[in-house]
């Protein structure tokens, strides 16, 4: 199989192309320099001549707080860029994998979000990713929308790296305990993504690591425990960390649809964390 992968410099794109290589699939990897997805003419110029079976679209504007001040840019990348790619996929009659987020929901309640639950984003980032989902659904039948949460990978910044960095200069940290979800290791996710794109089991899915739902506070404690860092971690509410963009309190994701369609669930986040810290 031959794929176009966008956002190859990001945490997920980096792992997706590694996984494709490992399995002997060919790919064309692009980032903004090779294909500015906000420019429809450029998207067509790059994509139309390619002999590809599908697109794995990892590129996104993910700076959640900055998005509140950069609405137009965020929309150009997450919504319009996705639409331009979807249109060419339709023209070429190829499949598309769109990576989305739990932020398309309103983040309330305690029940895990089902892939077909009503979407009601609570900030600009979530709204533009929702618009990206709608674009994919408008143009394509052969699509996968995979929503993820609390992402960490080797390439780029994430919560784990931030916690370890802060622990170098502090002996005490406050971490929120009223936002609940589960982490997603891009290395594990990349394997699932490739499995999915080799299938024709299209639709919306949720994919995070198994191992139970936790708060950021729980996650921080386990990071320091596994890393052997002696630091005091205090649980606090989200009000202690006022941010420009609202954050979801409920990021629990229902994943039974993966099992129903014969896909393997991701390993536990505790195991993923252990493997990740070894690489770091």
- Can you give the pLDDT at residue 185? 98
Q: How far is CA 177 from CA 206, 216, 218, in A?
A: 23, 6, 7
Q: 219 with 149: CB under 8 angstroms?
A: no
Of the pLDDT bands very low, low, confident and very high (cuts 50, 70, 90), residue 11 is very high
Q: Is residue 216 included in any domain, yes or no?
A: no
Is 152 inside any structural domain?
yes
Instruction: Tell me if 84 is assigned to some domain.
Output: yes
CB burial string 100-113: b at 16+ within 10 A, e below:
bbbbbbbbeeeebb
Residue 276 lies in a domain: no
Q: Is residue 141 part of a domain?
A: yes
User: What's the gap between Cα 160 and its chain centre?
Assistant: 16
Q: Domain limits at 55?
A: 2-157+183-209+253-266
Q: What is the pLDDT of residues 172-226, one digit of tens each?
A: 999 999 999 999 999 999 999 999 999 999 999 999 999 999 999 999 999 999 9
248: closest CA among 133, 146, 123? 123
pLDDT tens across 52-68, in order? 999 999 999 999 999 99
List pLDDT tens digits, range 70-128: 999 999 999 999 999 999 999 999 999 999 999 999 999 999 999 999 999 999 999 99
Catalytic annotation, residues: 125
Domain containing residue 28: CATH number:
3.40.50.720
d(CA 51, CA 8): 19
Q: What is the pLDDT of residues 233-267, one digit of tens each?
A: 999 999 999 999 999 999 999 999 999 999 999 99
Total count of domains within the chain: 1
Give the global pTM: 0.97
Q: Indicate whether 42 belongs to any domain.
A: yes
Q: Is residue 274 part of a domain?
A: no
Let me know if residue 232 belongs to a domain.
no
């Amino acid at each position: 199989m031959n794929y176009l992968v966008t956002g190859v410099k990001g945490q997920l794109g980096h792992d997706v192309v590694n996984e494709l290589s490992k399995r002997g699939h060919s790919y064309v990897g692009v980032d903004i320099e090779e294909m500015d997805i906000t420019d429809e003419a450029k998207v067509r110029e790059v994509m139309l001549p390619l002999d590809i079976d599908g697109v794995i679209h990892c590129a996104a504007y993910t700076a959640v707080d900055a998005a509140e001040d950069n609405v137009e840019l965020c929309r150009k990348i997450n919504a319009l860029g996705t639409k331009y790619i979807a249109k060419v996929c339709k023209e070429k009659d190829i499949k598309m994998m769109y990576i989305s987020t739990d932020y398309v929901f309103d983040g309330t309640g305690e029940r895990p979000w089902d892939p077909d639950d009503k979407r009601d984003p609570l900030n600009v980032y979530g709204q533009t990713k929702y618009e990206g989902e709608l674009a994919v659904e408008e143009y394509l039948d052969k699509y996968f929308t995979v929503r993820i949460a609390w992402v960490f990978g080797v390439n780029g910044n994430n919560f784990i790296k931030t916690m370890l960095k802060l622990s170098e200069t502090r002996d005490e940290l406050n971490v929120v305990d009223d936002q609940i979800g589960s982490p997603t290791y891009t290395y594990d996710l990349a394997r699932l993504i490739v499995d999915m794109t080799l299938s024709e089991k299209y639709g919306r899915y949720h994919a995070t690591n198994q191992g139970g739902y936790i708060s950021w506070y729980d996650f921080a404690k386990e990071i320091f425990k596994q890393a052997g860092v002696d630091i005091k971690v205090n649980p606090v509410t989200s009000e202690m960390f006022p941010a420009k963009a609202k954050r979801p309190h409920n990021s629990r994701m229902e994943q039974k649809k993966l099992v129903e369609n014969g896909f393997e669930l991701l390993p536990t986040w505790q195991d993923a964390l252990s493997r990740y810290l070894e690489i770091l």
